[in-house]
Amino acid sequence: MNKEIWTVGRILQWTEQYFRSKEMDSPRLDGEVLLSHILGKDRIYLYTHYDQPLVQEELDAFRPLVQERAKGRSVASIIGEKDFMGLTFKVNEHVLIPRPDTETLVEYVLDTLPKDFSGRILDVCSGPGTILLSLLHYLPQASGMGLELSIQALQVAEQNRNQLQLAERSIFKHSDMFKAIEHSGESFDVIVSNPPYITSADMRILAPEVLAEPHMALEGGADGLDFYRILVANSGQYLVPGGILAMEIGIHQGDDVRQLLEATGQFHEIQYCKDLAGINRVIVAKRM
Ligand code: GLN
């Protein structure tokens, strides 16, 4: 970069063009998120300080982040944070980066429950805690538990529950699916899950950005349904009558997961919710 003055606006334009030349999906947004991270401000600040010159330290800090992004690393993993449901979650290489698609699941549950819901929510495969903690944030009288196999992911969830001041209403346990609560007599009003659901064959064609995420959070076996089988077979015993099971699903999995649910004879009122792209992204069912 030459001796001309690099203002906030000018560096954003330069970065956008650079990312665009690399055919990246959201060149403007990525530049804004990286720059606001370096400046320690939110994105609005960039627009209220568009003509502000950047100091050399800021430029030196920004440049390597731009290079990392251009190499294909996700913005969330570079800055260690991702916004979801209006909240900021810590993330790292040990967790799945929260997807906007998953907001469909959280929004469905929030729409279904009364605002003063004071029941218990179970999140199976809770990862960094995104689903459970965002539900608890918007349901101030609810409490819940997350079950997660990865110790590293549990550590991230612990940070998130403290940062979001939800430590009193949430607990995370190390568990292979339901194992840690077997024979415990625990019961819940709602069970949510975004399990690994990509088929082993599709794992080979994932974008490099996604492949950088933990495979154990993504791969759902030969037909992608391994974890739904466990979720569907076990949720009935932990849900109260009338309780809700809501699971994120992959693009072609709706019929198969519906059949699994129907075969138990324990669920009814099975329905789908669409994501922003119009794809059935969530399946919900009620415990009889
Ligand atoms: N939706 C994610 C993806 O396509 C997969 C999430 C999952 O396996 N639970 O990358």
Query: Rounded CA gap, 285 and 281, in Å?
Result: 14
Pocket test for ligand 1, best of 25, 192, 248, 283 (most atoms within 8 A of CB): 248
Q: What is the pLDDT of residues 44-98, one digit of tens each?
A: 999 999 999 999 999 999 999 999 999 999 999 999 999 999 999 999 999 999 9
| Domain residue ranges of the chain, discontinuous segments joined by + | 8-72, 81-287
Q: Which atom of ligand 1 is nearest to the CA of 219?
A: 8
Give the pLDDT confidence score for residue 4 in this predicted structure: 77
Query: 81-287 adopts what CATH topology?
Result: Rossmann fold (3.40.50)
Tokens standing for 238? 């932990």
- The single-letter code of the amino acid at 127 is G
Neighbours of 278 (CB within 10 A): 7
What is the arithmetic mean of pLDDT over 8-13? Answer: 97
Length of the chain, in residues: 288
| Structure confidence by residue, pLDDT tens digits, 200-246 | 999 999 988 899 999 999 999 999 999 999 999 999 999 999 999 99
Q: What is the pLDDT of residues 177-195, one digit of tens each?
A: 999 999 999 999 999 999 9
Query: Nearest 10 degrees: CA dihedral of 204, 209, 215, 217?
Result: -130
ipTM of the complex: 0.93
CATH superfamily of 8-72: Ubiquitin-associated (UBA) domain (1.10.8.10)
Q: How confident is the model at residue 117 (pLDDT cuts 50, 70, 90)?
A: very high
DSSP H or E stretch at residue 67: helix 56-70
Q: Ligand 1 in contact with 99 (CB < 6 A)?
A: yes
Q: Would the annotation count 238 as a binding residue?
A: no
Which residue minimizes the CA distance to atom 9 of ligand 1? 196
Cα of 70 from ligand 1 centre, angstroms: 22
**Gap from CA of 87 to ligand 1 centroid (Å):** 20
Using the predicted structure, report yes or no on whether residue 1 has a pLDDT greater than 90.
Answer: no
Which tens digits make up the pLDDT trace of 154-177? Answer: 999 999 999 999 999 999 999 999
Query: Structure pTM?
Result: 0.93
